[in-house]
Structure 1
Amino acid sequence: MMRPNCGLRQLTTFLSLAGFLLAPVLAALAGSHPNIIVILADDLGYGELGCYGQTVILTPRLDQMAREGMRFTQFYAGATVCAPSRSVLMTGQHGGHTRVRGNAGTANPLAQSLRPEDVTVAEVLHKAGYGTALIGKWGLGNVGGAEVGLPRRQGFDFFYGYLSQIHAHNHYPSFLWRNESKEPLPNAVAPVGTEGAGYATNAVAYAGDLLTEEALQWIAQPRQQPFFLYWCPVAPHANNERKAALHNGAEVPDLGPYANRPWSDPNKGHAAMITRLDAQVGRLLDELRRRHLDRNTLVLFTSDNGPHRESNHDPDELFHPSGSVRGYKRDLTDGGIRVPLIAWWPGTVRAGRVVNQVAYFGDLMATAADLAGTQPPAGLDSISLVPTLTGRPRNQRQHDYLYWEFHESGFSQAVLIDQRWKAIRLKTVDAPIQLYDLPTD
């Protein structure tokens, strides 16, 4: 009669000891911070994905990502062109506060460079124990006059891609940067201007494919800490130099499902660039699943500004890339700055959610810091979207306003107030103000 009681005591003792030994491990797992991946497409419009109403261009993997995650309908870029938009995303400051206010070009490289005193999302996460990498287009610092803004001086452990946004026009470049060293590529390029700009006369290695492989290899590295990957493909941005020379700015290895469509070559190429980007994002999500990283990784997919009209394609006639809103890249109407945002985090972000939370690029800073269990710098224009992402919308803070500037052909401004009223002033500070009620206008 004593044996069962003895066995029970032994079992109880074993379970107690096991619980004691496992407690620190379980606590660590429960308190672990997620990996964060931000995928930033280049000049992709609000309406160029199937899940945002596109009917001509095929984007099955991003549509699947939206079905499995959360789709934002009122998410805004930091600016209506590349460099200032990316500066807003990196610093958590709106366009009136962030360091880089416009595409300055080569005449004044420091005007398009972050400085040592600027604190980036990568720096905040690095200090919180994250491994950090930038793969793709940077545009906020360069060798030869703007080294203070180089990625590895702004919080990234590793960089592979383009430093200059002009270089990034070329989808078949003669080199890419690996950290601060040029890595030659087998493409023959007709140079146009400086900084690697031009177009391929012998196209061998497509940058979008190289960047994808690099991203997959980086997330596959064994590591003990969480990671932050800032992956910046250069599709579907036009190769402006190729368009000027050959009247077709769309560069892509093949035309895929559009080869036999009765369209112009620029139209076929533009659509093929987006569909190829879609497949590349799908490969990344598949790799996360294969490595059992999906349930501890937040993936955000978005675009740096509205759609372009620079490949000699016919956006208005065929693609309607701004969807339900008006305007294009360089416009301060919503078509120039409202962009897709898809959030994917199986098991945490509820599948199939569509939210109208007003948010913008600057919110990445507070969101990332919140997820990492740390604090962002004080005085930012950034709110955490974690309540929305985790299904607690009643706890979500709101912006009183969002602000944008545009510095080409004058000085234009826009502000969104109370998530509804949009005011735009074009070209000069004394120009009349255009006021829009977004739900009706």
Structure 2
Amino acid sequence: MLRRCFVLLTCFSCLSLSLTTVSRAADAQKPNLIFIMADDLGYAELGCYGQTKIKTPHIDQLAADGMKFTQAYAGCMVCQPSRSVLMTGQHTGHTAVRANDLNQLLYEEDKTVAEVLKSAGYATGCFGKWGLGYAGTPGRPNQKGFDQFTGQLLQVHAHFYYPFWIWRNEEKVMLPENENNQRGTYIHDLIHEDAKDFIRKNKDQPFFAYLPYIIPHVELVVPEESERPYRGKFPKTEIKDPRPGYIGSEDGLTTFAGMVSRLDDHVGEIVILLEQLGIRDNTLLIFTSDNGGQGGNWKDMTDFFNGNAPLNGHKGTMYEGGLRVPFIASWPGKIAPGTTSDLQIGFWDVLPTFADAAGTKVPAGVDIDGISFLPTLLGKGKQKQHPYLYWEYTKGAIRSRALRMGDWKAVQNRMNRPVELYDLSQDIGETKDLASQHPDKVKELTRTMEQAHTAPRDFPQTLKPVGIKGYVK
């Protein structure tokens, strides 16, 4: 009897070990997923998209090793709704957050790409600017599928590179070395180091690393070693933020170039780390920007670098310069090197693409607008395409909107203003409004914009002001 029990226990142990081995082998086949997103990086502020004054060799190499998209679009023309689109897979006619508004945030019912991947066995981490829920709300990252978070919850807090504190999960980590105008910890560097630690910690299991880095958004400041290569190469131009409490630069063009180069260096460090850990070939890495290059007080700076060329407009506009972004995907052995795609995609396509790559599905009952572009990345299968791409910015009574259908682009800067019409195949710079020549097309696109819009969520709660820098001491 004892011998029989021993044999049975041995068999069960072997079976358990076998199942564990099979499970680990299956996990090993799931690709790691990394999404690096710059903040306010213009369409042409990378060498691989035509930049000549700022050097970005590491990101350029990603494009050389993978696929560069020429018609990829952010979720919106400003940061907060763009991030909501990315997380939920819904365009701004449906997603919860549709404006830069501290009171707009994700609720429990809003399912994110992190939650989808976590349910598929992925470790999940977010490092950088969140903007979709502050402390005490259901929209904070640890409540939206992320195992680990380091960064700024509020987008306003993410304007500053030497803050007094940073969030690590639910803990506010104080940075006394940055108080009293000291510049002890450049916060982007701290966030970047935590991102690398997350990758090291999870190298033996599939992981999703979302890196919404804050560079090169205002403020204009970067450690000296990043500025040094550009000293004396550009006209010395003082660039200051008119708002109190923001750091400006006496050599603004040099500072901005240094910020972009620091971002590029850190993208290179992520790639090197993946190679050192032996997981580069099993990692799909995407690099992009949350919206177009900066306008407003920084328009002259962006124009000096031709940061949005040849597009019209800047961040904050529904023109191509506010919406079209650099978008690069690299996956050695899976994505053919040196390829370019003109497929029209938007941030809402990332969720289904990552789910597809992970071998999982979007849960039943979760409505998304996205379409997986994995067939395009792998060069296999039939690629579905969008009948249209839609954007809106809705804050109270204010709404701007735009729609692209094929090569036609409709722009309505306010609901009480006329709808403009452009043919992007002939006029990528949106210089010729054709609305008066094609009234039927205007009606068609306007009707589609109406159909794409649903009533925005009512956000009854009110966020108490915490000061311009978001510092609570």
TM-score bracket, normalised by the shorter chain, equals 0.7 to 0.9
Task: Tell me the equivalent position of 2:255.
Answer: 269
Matching residue's letter, 1:46: Y
Residue 222 of structure 2 is matched in structure 1 by 252
Please name the residue that 2:125 is paired with.
Answer: 133
1:180: which partner in 2?
A: 170
Deviations 1:13-39 (A, max 9, x none): xxxxxxxx99x7599359821000000
Q: Deviations over 1:104-124 (max 9, x none)?
A: 13xxx2x2x100000000000
What displacement does 1:68 show? 0.7
Partners of 1:70 and 1:342 in 2: how far apart? 6
Deviates more, 1:179-188 or 1:69-78: 179-188
Deviations 1:123-170 (A, max 9, x none): 0000010000001110000015xx110101000001011111110000
| Corresponding letter in the other structure for 2:222 | V
SS at match of 1:411: strand
Counterpart residue identity of residue 360, structure 2: T
RMSD, aligned α-carbons: 2.0
| Per-residue Cα deviation, 1:311-339 (whole angstroms, up to 9, x for no partner) | 65733552011022111001101100000
306-315 or 378-387: bigger deviation? 306-315
Equivalence map 1:279-290=2 (5 Å): 279-290=265-276
- Residue segments in structure 1 that go unaligned for 5+ positions in a row: 1-20, 191-200, 240-249
Aligned match for 2:70, one of 69, 73, 83? 73
Aligned CA distance change for structure 1 residues 270 and 316 (closer, same or farther; 3 Å): closer
Structure 2: runs of 5+ lacking an equivalent: 1-17, 238-250, 428-473
Percent identity, please: 46
State the Cα distance separating 1:258 from its structure 2 match. Answer: 1.2
**What secondary structure, in the 3-state scheme, does the structure 2 residue paired with 1:314 have?**
helix
Q: Deviation of residue 260 (structure 1)? A: 2.4
| CA displacement, residues 326-361 of structure 1 (integer Å, 9 cap, x when unaligned) | 110011011000001010111111110011011010
Identify if the C-alpha distance between structure 1 residues 172 and 92 changes in structure 2 by more than 3 Å, giving closer, same or farther: same
Figure out how many residues of one structure are paired with residues of the other and give that number. 390
**Kindly tell me: are residues 189 and 347 of structure 1, through their superposed partners in 2, closer, same or farther at Cα, counting changes over 3 Å?**
same
Aligned to 2:37, the other structure's residue is in SS state strand
TM-score (norm 1): 0.85
Give 1:207 deviation, angstroms: 1.1
Q: Given the two structures, how large is their TM-score scaled by the length of structure 2?
A: 0.79
Which of 422, 426, 429 is the matching residue for 1:436?
Answer: 422
Indicate whether 1:385 and 2:365 are aligned. Answer: no
Distance 1:357 1:68 in 2: 19
**CA distance change for structure 1 residues 383 and 312 in 2, over 3 Å: closer, same or farther?**
closer
CA distance in 2, matches of 1:212, 1:367: 25
Instruction: Report the counterpart of residue 8 of structure 2 in structure 1.
Output: none
- 398-407 vs 371-380, which moves further: 371-380
One-letter amino acid matched to 1:141: G
Aligned match of 2:405? 417
| Aligned mates of 2:165, 2:296 — CA distance in 1 | 23
Alpha-carbon distance, 1:364 to partner: 0.6
What amino acid is the match of 1:179? N
| Equivalent in the alignment of 2:346 | 360
8 Å CA contact retained: 1:66, 1:342: yes
Q: Do residues 167 (structure 1) and 157 (structure 2) align?
A: yes
Aligned to 2:392: 405
Q: Deviations over 1:21-63 (max 9, x none)?
A: 99x7599359821000000110001010000001111111111
**Structure 2: distance between partners of 1:317 and 1:297:** 35
Matched position secondary structure for 2:29: coil
Partners of 1:27 and 1:90 in 2: how far apart? Answer: 28
Q: 2:298 and 2:114 mapped to 1: Cα distance?
A: 36
CA deviation string 1:362-413 (max 9, x = no partner) = 0011001111111114431010111011013x61100001110123693111
Partner of residue 202, structure 1? 182
Q: Is the 8 A contact 1:266 1:311 kept in 2?
A: no
Kindly indicate whether the alpha-carbon contact (under 8 Å) linking 2:28 and 2:206 is maintained by their aligned counterparts in 1.
Answer: no
Amino acid in the other structure paired with 2:65 = E
